[in-house]
A and B are shown apart, each in its own frame.
Chain A
Amino acid sequence: MNVFLSPEMGHIALIIGSCLAFVQALLPLAGSYTGTVRWMQMGRSLACGNLFFVFLAFLCLSNAFLSDDFTVRYVAQNSNTLLPIYFKFSAVWSAHEGSLLLWVLILSMWTAAVALFGSRLPLQFLSRTLAILGLISVGFGFFLLFTSNPFERTFPLPPIDGQDLNPLLQDIALILHPPLLYFGYVGLAVPFAFAISALLESRFDSAWANWSRPWTIASWCFLTIGIFLGSWWAYYELGWGGWWFWDPVENASLMPWLVTTALIHSLIASEQRGVFRSWTILLAIFAFSLSLLGTFLVRSGVLTSVHAFASDPERGIYILLFLSIVVGSTLALFAIRGPVLMSTSSYSGTSRETFLLINNLILTVAVAVVLLGTLYPLISDAFGLGKISVGPPYFNFFFVPLTFVLLIFIPLAMRSSWGNVSTKAVSSWLMQPLLLSLLLGLIGSTTLAYWVGEKGNSLLAIVTMTCVSWVFVMILKDFRDKIKSSSFTLLPVRYYGMVLAHLGVAITVLGAGLYAASGIQRDVKMGIGDYAVLGGYTFYFSDIKRDRRSNFSFTQAEIIVSKEDREIVTLNPEKRHYFSNPQTMTEAAIDPGLLRDLYVSLGEPLDDDHWAIRLHVKPFVRCIWLGGAMISLGGLLAVLDKRYRRRKICSQDRANLSVQSASEI
């Protein structure tokens, strides 16, 4: 077993996998131009072969971690014999080399999925798509092999024990966060490859949009879960109580998410009405480009970041070069082929097309804001103004109002109809919900003010509640109307998905807005027997103890929280000292609740019997992640819709047709 899964075997498997990807990039593409059906058909088996070998390489690296093989340098740098077994496994993707291998593995998985589920696609289109995915795989495979080989051994003297996994990463959410995020990032390669194939064939009908949609939504779902999981991790692990920090690496995941959100909506319009075609293609290109840019920012270290665990400018050069070639040539192709994508059908005034366009514009502006803010230190530096970073105030200033405007338009797009709609028809169903949501907003903020004090009456709280009520009122009204004219079971699954996802967005905004408006915190000095009061809760410091677990020792406080003489919960915040690392980690203790979180983190000892303690009361903070879960679930329902499994028969004819036309070329 061990000989079979040795690091050398992994290295060889990776080389074979990359070679297969290379063939996959050339042969089907050549076949699609010469009309050689056999070459085109090879794309699918090559994709599966590539997955087999890359997976083997990944197994070999995992095996090296699980068997504590410290002769492998990457293992020695990121693992340790004391590490619990599940962290040994997650340590595989904890640093640059391994996470890149995971990246390549996931790309192979998506490619194989396209090969397997893409049987309804015309052969020529499928083979070109697979070739482009192969090309991306080659780029990253070579990057891995030449600059960041995870299988390198240390000779002659391997260390007796490893350096241990970064304590920040020793957490359950961090086992899942990177793979999920990568599934999202890398999955965007599929709509990207679809867009290139469409440009190559100048084919851009509603069938194309229909093919692209499930892949786009699926990767968007992964991205959503990944981002929200990361934010949840940051919330409880970093010990600050915040949930989003506008860190460059967070922004790097937010930008593709925003673009993909726009893409999903633009694809709908393209499929249903044949509009926004150039725009849809462009979004598909940008979504993947931004995920490559994210990889570049994380890996090159051009921006200092929380997440800069493994950065190296030389690797940055490779990624940048790759990015330039891939994106540059795609955009050039877009510039040349673009005109044939001009849309045909018309729409006007207050139609769904208009509202989707507005939503798309808002999302695009949001991306531009985030991109500018993220790259600003580099821009100002290039113009000789020094490296100035903009920080959270800038992002909040632009992003928060944009979010509210977006919320206002979301239900409008859902309620309106396609085509030519008069303004009058819209305003007739607008007034009632508008007044109702204003009323709900005021009632809500008054209630909040009664509950958490005057902060509940702030402008932010009122605007948040009004906008959120607006989305809820409109969506529920729409739902009621739909049920009246149809029935529960007759409504398509994707409709439920849409409702759930948009309500999720509203819930997330509700959580974020109310948390920002009315969250309170206090830093106090406490010893045994002390108590502090915050937001009506009494925090009683009852005990402190020291102990150890397998790879760290810890100090744990016991804090009893009560309200109006009723004991609510006992919280145990911790401070951990990892044996292999001088870093101290804070483990906050949280009493979660839908309406409020109580959050306590233990700071440094101030003297022999007193500690610095941070207390938070955070109303509605859970809603942020609840909304995130709803958004992802909504996306999942949309992917499962049977609409994407139709059209097999007609595409079969098209396959024959396009093979013929290919041979004519």
Chain B
Amino acid sequence: MRIILFAPLMVFFAIAILLWSALEREPGKLPSALIGKPFPEFSLTKLSAHNQYLSAEDLSGALALINVWATWCYACKLEHPYLQKLASNGIKIIGINYKDNRKAAIAWLERLGNPYSVIIFDEEGSLGLDIGVSGAPETFLIDKQGIILHRRVGILDQKVWEKEFSHYYSDSWE
């Protein structure tokens, strides 16, 4: 009986250790196991057309951002204007519409504008699982060969861009 009384303490310490390790990991800047590796294979449809399939090959060719978003994600809405700005500056952004509804997603883009050159419709979240998406929004950077260079969890804004992404682009322009 006495042992049971210690159970809450044990549960609490398990949670505390978990939270501690989460802090150690530095939220938002997750070093993904995928960095330096090619973008995983997939075969999913375009958001705009349910009979056109996309694969990993379609993503390579140029330095590009891969942005995971969804209409149910409020933070994506906050992030959206900045993506628009990047797109208007000629940055290629590929979207992954994550665990979403096709109609709602298309309506969302009609309402807010579309910064994406192409959008992968990942209804089941299978691609999201392969690349270890923690939630939306999340942004990956891939190079010409489709190798993942960087990963950002959370909103991409001016500050994050300058700190984590812009140098990749200045390198490539040199």
Contacts and interface: CB of A to CB of B under 8 A. Distances in A.
A603 B30 CA distance: 33
A317 B8 contact: no
A391 B99 contact: yes
Interface stretch (A21-29, A133-141, A173-181, A326-334): A326-334
A304 B153 contact: yes
A604 B135 CA distance: 25
Contacts of B81: 582-584
Contacts of B74: 238, 240, 245, 247, 306
Nearest to A278: B5
B135 A387 contact: yes
A391 B135 contact: yes
B154 interface: yes
Contact of B133 (A293, A331, A388): A388
A658 interface: no
Which one of A296, A302, A379 has the highest number of Cβ atoms from chain B below 10 Å of its Cβ? A302
B49 interface: no
Given A320-B19, A377-B134, A523-B107, A331 B72 contact: no
Interface string B1-31: 1100110110011011011111101111010
A637 interface: no
A391 B72 contact: yes
- Chain A: interface size category: 35 or more
A606 interface: yes
A604 B21 contact: no
B8 A304 contact: no
Nearest to B26: A313
Interface residues of B, number: 44
B132 interface: yes
Contact of A387 (B16, B21, B132): B132
Given A247-B74, A388-B134, A604-B113, A302 B8 contact: no
A210 to B, nearest CB: 25
Given A304-B27, A386-B132, A331 B8 contact: yes
B8 A282 contact: yes
A618 interface: no
B160 interface: no
A339 interface: yes
A327 B22 contact: no
Nearest to A375: B18
A389 interface: yes
B110 A339 contact: no
A382 interface: yes
Interface in A228-254: 238, 240, 245, 247
A582 B129 CA distance: 33
Nearest to B5: A338
B112 interface: yes
A606 B109 CA distance: 10
A603 B9 contact: no
A289 interface: yes
B18 A382 contact: yes
B9 A335 contact: yes
B62 interface: no
A387 B110 contact: no
A523 B111 contact: yes
B85 to A, nearest CB: 8
Contacts of A247: 74
A302 B22 contact: yes
A287 to B, nearest CB: 13
Query: Which residue among B2, B9, B155 has the maximum number of chain A CB atoms within 10 Å of its CB?
Result: B9
Interface in A294-329: 296, 300-306, 308, 311, 313, 316-317, 320, 323-324, 327-328
Nearest to A331: B9
Nearest to B135: A389
A304 B75 contact: yes
Contacts of A15: none
Given A301-B27, A377-B134, A328 B16 contact: yes
Nearest to B103: A523
A334 B8 contact: yes
B78 interface: yes
B30 A387 contact: yes
Contacts of A391: 72, 99, 135
Contacts of A332: 9
B153 A387 contact: yes
Contacts of A604: 111-113
B23 A523 contact: no
Interface string B152-172: 011100000000000000000
B62 to A, nearest CB: 26
A320 B16 contact: yes
B15 to A, nearest CB: 7
Contacts of A113: none
A392 interface: yes
A382 B21 CA distance: 7
Interface string B121-155: 00000000100111100000000000000000111
Contacts of B21: 378, 382
Contacts of B153: 304, 387
A452 interface: no
Nearest to A323: B16
A583 B112 contact: no
Contact of B110 (A289, A301, A328, A523): A523
Contacts of B26: 313
Interface in A602-641: 603-604, 606, 612, 614
Given A304-B154, A335-B6, A339-B2, A614 B27 contact: no
A518 to B, nearest CB: 18
A559 B134 CA distance: 40
A189 B16 CA distance: 20
Contacts of B99: 391, 393
Contacts of A335: 2, 5-6, 8-9
Interface string A435-476: 000000000000000000000000000000000000000000
A525 interface: yes
B90 to A, nearest CB: 19
A285 B5 CA distance: 13
Interface string B87-99: 0000000000001
19 contacts: A302-B19, A304-B28, A304-B135, A305-B75, A313-B23, A313-B27, A327-B12, A328-B9, A331-B8, A331-B12, A335-B9, A378-B18, A378-B19, A378-B22, A381-B134, A387-B133, A389-B135, A391-B72, A604-B112
- Enumerate the 7 nearest inter-chain pairs by beta-carbon distance, A residue then B residue, closest first: A387-B134, A386-B132, A603-B111, A389-B135, A612-B111, A523-B107, A338-B5
Given A301-B28, A387-B134, 13 more contacts: A238-B74, A302-B22, A304-B135, A320-B23, A328-B9, A328-B16, A339-B5, A382-B22, A385-B132, A386-B133, A388-B132, A389-B135, A391-B99
Interface of B: 1-2, 5-6, 8-9, 12-13, 15-16, 18-23, 25-28, 30, 32-33, 72, 74-75, 78, 81, 99, 104, 107-108, 110-113, 129, 132-135, 153-155
